[in-house]
Amino acid sequence: MFPRSFKEDHPRIRRGEGVYLYDESGRAFLDAASGAVSANIGYGVEEVAEAIARQTRDVPFAHGSVWDAEVNERAASLVAELAPAGFGSVWFVNSGSEAMEAAMKMARQFFLERDGVSSSKYLIIGRQNSYHGSTLGTLGIGGNVNRRRLFMPMLFDHPKIEAPYCYRCPYGATYPGCGIRCAEELDRTIRRIGARYIAAFVAEPVGGSTAGALVPPEEYWPRIREICTVHDVLLIADEVMTGCGRTGRNFAVDHWGVVPDLIGTAKGLAACYYPVGALIVSDRVAEAFRKGSGVFAHSHTFNGMPAASAAVVAVLEYMKKHRLVERAARWGEFIEKEWVPELVTQDLVGDVRGKGLLWGLELVKDRVSKEPFPAAAGVASRLKALALERGMTLYPGRSMVDGERGDNVIVAPPLVIAREEMARVREILLDSLKALAREL
Ligand SMILES: Cc1ncc(COP(=O)(O)O)c(C=O)c1O
C-alpha cells in the first residue's frame, strides 16, 4: 500500500453493521461521518450485497460501446425518478470527481452541439470554498485552497465568485440587508468576462466539507437560476455529497424548488457498496446531443457497468422501501430544534449549520470575535482524533477562513440511524468538544 499518510497510523477495519464499524479487535465505532458522507444506508445490508453478487455472477461488465444492459436502464430510471421533472437521462461514472469532470465536458460540448463548432463558451464559473473533485479538471473549478495549492501550475483555473458564507460574509454584510451580494456577483462576473465565454456555473447547493455545510439564504438559489437563464449559462448542481436524500430531499436543490441543467451525484448513490456516480442530464441538454452529433465525446472503461448498476438499483430500492429521505428530513428538524441551541453554546463552537443529516460545526478560538485557530494547531483533526478515541468518526475540514486558517467538522451519520444511536452521537460529540477545550 502507498498509504494516505506515511505519518499516521489508523485502526484496521474488520467489518460494518448498521451505523457501526468494527476494528480487528472487535471494538465498535459509530460512523457519524458515514464514511465520507457516503454510507447512507449503513453497513451490512445483505440484499444489496446479494444483488451485486448475483449480477457479478451473471455478468459484471459489458462495454458500453458494444452492449446495452437492462440493469443499467433500470438504474437510470430510478435515478431520473429522484431528480426534478425534465431530467430523463443519466450518464454513469465511477466517482464524484468523474461526475463533475463529465459535467464540465458536457457543458462545453452542449454549446458546440447547439451553436456549432465556433461556440466560444468554455469557462465554468465556480465558487471559493468549494470542492468538486481531485482530478486536475475539477480542481480548476473548485475553490478548496488546500487541495489546489500543490498543483496550481498544472490547473486550468476557471473564474470564481465568493460562496454564501454568511457566518463570515466575504462582503462584511449581514443577511437580509445584504441583498444577497454573493449571488449578484455571478451576474457581474458573467457580464465582466462576457456571457459568450461562459458555459456554466457550478456549485454545491449545500456546501460540503470545505467550509462545513454552508446553507445559503432562501433567495440565493432562485436568483442564481435566474442569472444563469438570462445569460444562457448552464447551471450545474454538484450533488455528489448532498444528493440521494442526504439533506432530507432527493436533491438539495429541491429545498428551493430550483431546477438545474446538470446534476452530478455519487457518494450516496450506491452508498459505498460500489464506487459509482452519475451525471443526470436535463432533457434540454440531452436533446442538443440527440439532434447534433449523437455522441458525448467522453468515456471511461467502467462507465455504466452492470455490477455497479445492480448496486444502484438495490440501494435506491432500499432507500424507497425504508423511506430514508423522509427520515433524513425528520432528523434534520430534530437536530435544528434539539441540538443546535445546545451546540452553539459550547466553547469553541462558532457556528452550526446544515440540513437533513448533513451538519457542520465551525470551530473558533473566540466565539465573540470569531477568531479562528492557527492552522498549525490542526484543531479539526484533533477533534476527529478525540472522537475516534471515544468510538466515533467525524469528518474534518480546514482552511475556509483565509486559505490557511479555519476548522470545521461534519457530522453526517447514515440515514438509517436510530434514536438511541443519535443520542450516542450527541454524547460523544459534546464530550469530545469538552476534551478539546480542556486541551487548548
Ligand atoms: C461536493 C463534492 N463534489 C465532488 C466530490 C468528489 O467525489 P469523489 O471523492 O467521489 O471523487 C466530493 C467528495 O468529497 C464532494 O463532496
Residues flanking ligand 1, CB < 6 Å: 36, 95-97, 100, 131-133, 204, 208, 238, 240-241, 266
CA distance 424 to 427: 5
| Whole-Å CA distances, 235 to 18, 99, 186 | 36, 15, 12
- Please answer whether residues 385 and 400 qualify as being in contact, where contact means their C-beta atoms are separated by less than 8 angstroms: no
Ligand 1 centroid to Cα of residue 438, in Å, is 34
Q: What is the mean pLDDT of residues 378-401?
A: 97
Domain boundaries for CATH 3.90.1150.10 within the chain: 13-44+323-439
- Please tell us whether the domain made up of 49-321 is placed in CATH 3.40.640.10: yes
- pLDDT on residue 83: 98
- pLDDT on residue 265: 98
Ligand 1 centroid to Cα of residue 440, in Å, is 32
Q: Which atom of ligand 1 is nearest to the CA of 97?
A: 11
- Please tell us whether the domain made up of 13-44+323-439 is placed in CATH 3.40.190.10: no
Asked if the model's pLDDT at residue 100 lies above 90, the reply is: yes
Ligand 1 centroid to Cα of residue 278, in Å, is 12
Question: By C-alpha distance, which of 390, 391, 133, 359 is closest to 267?
Answer: 133
Ligand 1 centroid to Cα of residue 96, in Å, is 5
- pLDDT on residue 209: 87
Tens digit of pLDDT for each residue in 286-342?
999 999 999 999 999 999 999 999 999 999 999 999 999 999 999 999 999 999 999
Strands (E), 41-158: 89-93, 123-127
Q: Which atom of ligand 1 is nearest to the CA of 266?
A: 10
Q: Which residues contact 282 (CB under 8 A, 6 or more apart)?
A: 86, 87, 259, 260, 261, 262
Q: Which atom of ligand 1 is nearest to the CA of 98?
A: 11
Atom 3 in ligand 1: which residue has the minimum CA distance?
132
Ligand 1 centroid to Cα of residue 314, in Å, is 22
Ligand 1 centroid to Cα of residue 161, in Å, is 20
Q: Which atom of ligand 1 is nearest to the CA of 130?
A: 1
Q: Which residues contact 232 (CB under 8 A, 6 or more apart)?
A: 195
CA distance 54 to 365: 53
- Please answer whether residues 194 and 122 qualify as being in contact, where contact means their C-beta atoms are separated by less than 8 angstroms: no
The residue whose CB lies within 8 Å of the most ligand 1 atoms, and thus the one to mutate among 94, 97, 147, is: 97
- pLDDT on residue 325: 98
CA distance 308 to 91: 13
Tens digit of pLDDT for each residue in 184-230?
999 999 999 999 999 999 999 999 989 999 999 999 999 999 999 99
The residue whose CB lies within 8 Å of the most ligand 1 atoms, and thus the one to mutate among 94, 130, 134, 241, is: 241
Confidence of residue 96 (pLDDT cuts 50, 70, 90): very high
CA distance 95 to 274: 10
Ligand 1 centroid to Cα of residue 405, in Å, is 22
Output the DSSP codes for 348-413.
TEEEEEEETTEEEEEE-S-TTT-PPPPGGG-HHHHHHHHHHHTTEE-EEEE-TTTSS--EEEEE--
Tens digit of pLDDT for each residue in 354-377?
999 999 999 999 999 999 999 999
- Please answer whether residues 270 and 236 qualify as being in contact, where contact means their C-beta atoms are separated by less than 8 angstroms: no
> Which position has the grid cell 446534476?
263
